[in-house]
Amino acid sequence: MTNDAVPPARPLEQRKRDTLELLRTETDLWIASVSENGRPHLVPLSHLWDGAALVVAAPRASRTARNLLRSGRARVAVGSTRDVVLVDGAVDAVEIGVDSELEDAHARATGFDPRTLPEEYVYLRLTPETVQAWREENELAGRYLMRGGHWLA
């Protein structure tokens, strides 16, 4: 893509609207965690955006769940390299059977219902503390949409 084809940088308010729409409509994300000895781990998972947090489901015994539950932190990437959203935040567990409304919403959004499986799953709720979003290099300077859990626009 030549510089002539690059659209102008979006204003912060537009970027926030676009980001919230992407979180709401995109089904899949990449979630990164780290082991106790510092080994990185990255996996794709389906998610629900509930308006305040990203919710994924993972087998309780999986490396992903173990890492996230131990550290209480994650980084998530949603979208393509030309429309990326990075979310960093705190992770909390929501046990199956505790919040049927959340579980039903997750199943509708993802087409996946871990309640139907014999393996023990846990819902992992990532509450954003920072959110970054950009489409092209011209949006990198203003890529932070949230800091300290507060939207900047």
pLDDT tens digits, 93-119: 999 999 999 999 999 999 999 999 999
Cα-trace Rg, the chain: 16
- In the predicted model, is pLDDT for residue 83 greater than 90? yes
- In the predicted model, is pLDDT for residue 18 greater than 90? yes
For 101-134, b/e burial (b = at least 16 CB within 10 A) is ebbeebbebbeeebeeeeeebbbbbbebeebbbb
Q: CA 114, 25, 85, 152 torsion: positive or negative? A: negative
Task: Return the H-helix or E-strand segment holding 32.
Answer: strand 28-34
Q: Which CATH architecture has domain 3-151?
A: Roll (2.30)
Helix boundaries (H) for 10-86 = 12-25, 63-71
- In the predicted model, is pLDDT for residue 49 greater than 60? yes
- In the predicted model, is pLDDT for residue 3 greater than 80? no
Tell me what the mean pLDDT of segment 39-62 comes to.
97
Pull the structure tokens for residue 70.
């131990």
